Amino acid sequence: AQTVTQSQPEMSVQEAETVTLSCTYDTSENNYYLFWYKQPPSRQMILVIRQEAYKQQNATENRFSVNFQKAAKSFSLKISDSQLGDTAMYFCAFGGAQKLVFGQGTRLTINP
Amino acid sequence: DAGVTQSPTHLIKTRGQQVTLRCSPKSGHDTVSWYQQALGQGPQFIFQYYEEEERQRGNFPDRFSGHQFPNYSSELNVNALLLGDSALYLCASGWRGPGGTKNIQYFGAGTRLSVL
């Protein structure tokens, strides 16, 4: 069974700083996808970034980038130049088209 | 282009009752998945529907059932409600047919179910 672990329940940084959220996972599969989703107080789960396991190049989306270490089964999210609107719960997820397995989440607060 | 829509937004039921939640997928999507998110937890996969059939199921009892209609919309039914069924129920849609990006799921804003 796949498991996803987020070891940081809460994090807090100042606006414009860089923050890194950690995620580790466990699977016996070789081909899979990894995701970071953001859930603001509005409850809508929003896709932040996606990484395909067979691609060695780390995914980037504007201020968001990942550090994907397949051998270590690690998938961290870096947010550069953080903004107040980045305040939300962040979930790491494993899977793809059929089933997503989520971590417990990290509550990120960006302070002015 | 409408995203994933869920109804109702909030629902209050009592123990033992039955509830039906509804989901309309994003335009062009053909799969619907349902997740249960307890307070302070990550979402847990309930099941996925594709071509009007349940294709994969998580570790949930038979009290949880669903349906997918020809227009790809879906319902989640929960019978004999328990206090522990109180949660946010999220619907996600995706695309399994030929072409398109098959490995992304887009979520609705959820239905908050409270069981008293």
List b or e across A85-108, with b for residues whose CB sees 16 or more CB atoms inside 10 angstroms: ebbbbbbbbbbbbbbbbbbbbbeb
- The answer to whether residue B5 neighbours chain A at the CB level (below 8 Å) is no
Inform me whether the pLDDT recorded for B36 exceeds 80.
yes
> Tens digit of pLDDT for each residue in A42-92?
888 999 999 998 888 999 999 999 999 999 999 999 999 999 999 999 999
- pLDDT at position A34: 95
Category of A97 on φ-ψ map: left (φ > 0), alpha (ψ -120 to 50) or beta: alpha
Instruction: Write out the residue range of the structural domain in which residue B72 sits.
Output: 5-115
DSSP, residue by residue, A23-47: -EEE-S-SS-EEEEEEE-TT---EE
Instruction: From the options 3.30.750.24, 2.40.420.20, 3.30.420.40, 2.60.40.10, give the CATH code of A3-104.
Output: 2.60.40.10
Residues in chain A with CB shorter than 8 Å from the CB of B43 are 45, 91, 100, 102
**Residues above pLDDT 70, as percent of chain A:** 98
Q: What is the CATH number of the domain that holds B46?
A: 2.60.40.10
- Find where tokens 């998945």 sit: B33
Q: What is the mean pLDDT of residues B47-76?
A: 95
How many A-B residue pairs are in contact by the CB < 8 A criterion?
62
Residue type, A47: L
> Tens digit of pLDDT for each residue in B81-108?
999 999 999 999 998 766 555 678 999 9
> Tens digit of pLDDT for each residue in A90-112?
999 998 667 899 999 999 999 99
- The answer to whether residue B66 neighbours chain A at the CB level (below 8 Å) is no
Domains in chain B: how many in total? Answer: 1
